[in-house]
Chains A and B, each alone.
Chain A
């Protein structure tokens, strides 16, 4: 569904991504794990058009995304819940969700999706009039995911949804990612929390300083010695 071929990104003099290739098949959960600064967020930003790749090709549904704007990509179903949540703190929870559905015109379906988001995250319904900046970290993450769902994603990209959250909330968010996936949404999950990510992933890539160093199915990587040492904190 999403194919990345030899993607390179430079920031000034820094070679952030050094020709990475990866694929996300339809209906699967694929995860990209790696340490801080490995280039995980850059990969997602390049996919969604927020940073310009220097070389390489990205295609979504078989079509190159090169000439497309972020707006066009989002409208075609490629949606990113960005790192650090990036909710609009001065807007209400409700308005944040409306912005998720900004480009859509199908009023009835938007209302249905809003109900669905409220079912997944009852907290958001309780707090819909509240300014988003007053929510707790976990609630803000729920809002970021809910907002992304309002865009009716076919491929949902999540950038570190577990960042700064209590283990129980992480478990809940990851459970919801699986639910969303079962309902037919393909997922590309970027995580530092390698264990949680590998447990739910069909396929995983390990990113190290701008290069893919390892790839395999979730269980394979969970069992891999190198991964266990470097990312799961085992000796």
Chain B
């Protein structure tokens, strides 16, 4: 592999890693607060992409108006999902909530097939994101430069919310000890709802950028990225936001670089994530940045 190709692949890896990171954060935030794997998260990502697609192609809105509308709707979808599928089961055994999450995932996929149609749709091209940029000998799509930048901004924004706002303080309290947070007069339901909204917003953002990079939409497009980002969150240490980002980048790099170095393994690219997951779980079950679970007495 010559240097130019290497940089080319590096750019690809950074943008794929950024996308994985954005989606993985949603898994980790919900897990941090509810100890629940939101299996429908990948499908929220899918719906977010479709919402952006329809906002652009079915209305006369320019992209910079259509995207925020799609993002708000995606956040609302996440909050609605929590309200309908998870909140009623708050006091039920964990396994019931997990089954409900899997059910919600299938529901969204099949509603997607019915409403959006099973045939793939292509995302309209937006000039700003769809031009080829030459950096020396490397040429990349401009969206590949926007993706890491937007991911970095989202992370800063998230970090600010979690560590510098009252709601963020409440989120950290709820994630450590739900009942103790209740005793502090924290409105636990509001905090959980907010967390779902925020996570879904990021998934929607990831979805929009994903479809600009890989401009084909289909109702099952959320399954593989969803699974991989769940893996990214576990690898990084589920419940830990930095961990999710680390896991996302790690997966993105691994996937792109292995295929670049050993092209004969291209057919197995989706398997790398699972191999890495098994390896990390064998060596460090709590994930790279995860803390050992302490049992409360």
Docked complex: B166-184 residues within 8 A CB-CB of A: 166, 169-170, 172-173, 176-177, 179-184
| CB of A193 closer than 8 Å to a CB of B | no
A100 to B181, CA, bound (A): 9
Q: Which residues of A contact B66 (CB under 8 A)?
A: none
Q: How far is the CA of A147 from the CA of B184 in the complex (A)?
A: 9
Set of chain B residues within 8 Å of A75, measured between Cβ atoms: 185
Residue A48 lies at the interface, judged by CB distance under 8 Å to chain B:
yes
Chain B contact residues, majority secondary structure: helix
| Chain A interface extent, by class | 20 to 34
Cα of A88 to Cα of B179 in the assembled complex, Å: 11
**Given A86-B177, A102-B166 in contact, is the A91-B183 Cβ separation under 8 Å?**
no
Find out whether the CB atom of B182 lies under 8 angstroms from the CB atom of A70: yes
C-alpha gap A99/B173 in the complex (Å)? 8
A178 at the binding interface (Cβ < 8 Å): no
Task: Write the chain B residue with the least CB distance to A104.
Answer: B185
Q: Is the CB of B184 within 8 A of A151?
A: yes
Contacts of A70 in B (CB 8 A): 182-183, 185
Nearest-neighbor residue (CB-CB) of B188 within chain A: A71
Contact present for B173 and A88 (CB under 8 Å): yes
Q: Which residues of A contact B170 (CB under 8 A)?
A: 99, 102
Complex Cα distance, B177 from A99, in Å, reads 12
B169 touches A74 (CB 8 A): no
Q: Check if A74 sits within 8 Å of B177, measured CB to CB.
A: no
A90 at interface by CB-CB < 8 Å: yes
- Expressed in whole angstroms, the minimum distance between the Cβ of B58 and any Cβ of chain A is 42
Please measure, in the bound complex, the distance between the C-alpha atom of A103 and the C-alpha atom of B185, giving whole angstroms. 6
Taking the closest CB of chain A, its distance from the CB of B183, in whole angstroms, is 6
Say yes or no for A82: interface residue by CB 8 A criterion. yes
User: Which residues in A have their C-beta under 8 angstroms from that of B179?
Assistant: 50, 82, 86
Q: Say yes or no: A102 contacts B184, CB within 8 Å.
A: yes
Query: Which residue on chain A has the smallest CB distance to residue B291?
Result: A90
Report 21 cross-chain contacts, Cβ distance below 8 Å, ordered by A residue.
A48-B183, A50-B179, A50-B183, A70-B182, A70-B183, A70-B185, A71-B185, A71-B186, A82-B179, A82-B183, A88-B180, A90-B176, A91-B172, A91-B176, A95-B172, A99-B169, A99-B170, A99-B181, A99-B186, A102-B169, A102-B170
Name B residues whose Cβ lies closer than 8 Å to a Cβ of A: 166, 169-170, 172-173, 176-177, 179-187, 297
